Structure 1
Amino acid sequence: MVERVPWMAPVDYEIMLFFDEHAIQVSPRVLAANTGYDRQYVSKRCRTLSEAGLLEDIDTGLYQLTETGAAYLEGKLDADDLENDESK
């Protein structure tokens, strides 16, 4: 079980778990279709996760899980190490 990060939204965990289960590059549109969330909201959350170093923006609109993101999901990274502008 991963430690909850205060600035993360519930959809963030679903996005990251999707990438953990599917080692592919996808767009927010594909993520939205697979998680049931609004595409614009998923796109915003992907940018937030990318700014925190958990996702990487590979190409215009395509994301993938970073090594940091994988380490977080494996419980090898402390939640205090994950900061972004929303946490300040």
Structure 2
Amino acid sequence: MRYSGSWQSVWDDRILEIIDKEGPSSPKTILDTGLVHISKGHISTRLSKMADHGLLHRLPNGVYTLTEAGEAYLQGEYDAEAEEFIEDPEEYEISASETEANGA
């Protein structure tokens, strides 16, 4: 289970998955995969936003790569909302569902 941030869009997971599989990528290389159905400009905006929140690292020439946090997020070991690593994902999932049940 992934722990998304309120700032994330529906396309962010797909973009991160592409970078995870393909390696460092630019908006054009992501668009060229045919796996996202948004404009190159929108991809660029999402990449920048994810970099601002620590999931991606900006390289020269508009290329992005996953950070340690980005890799952990894809594996369900990072909470993008709290911007913190999750030590025990199973325990964290139970705690999160208890918090939601209590209306917090």
| TM-score of the aligned structures, taking structure 1 as reference length | 0.82
Encode CA deviations 1:38-69: one digit per residue, 9 max, x unaligned.
Answer: 00000011000011110111112011111110
- Paired positions, count: 82
Give the alignment's Cα RMSD to 1 decimal. Answer: 1.7
Aligned 1:36-75 pairs, distance under 5 A: 36-75=37-76
Greater relative contact order, per chain length (Cα 8 Å cut-off, separation 6+): 1
Larger Rg: 2
The normalised TM-score by structure 2 is 0.71
3-state DSSP of counterpart to 1:3: coil
Give ranges in structure 1 of 5+ residues lacking alignment.
83-88
% same residue: 30
Give the Cα–Cα distance (whole angstroms) in 2 for the partners of residues 8 and 80 of structure 1.
9
Q: Note the residue ranges of structure 2 that are not aligned, 5 or more in a row.
A: 84-104
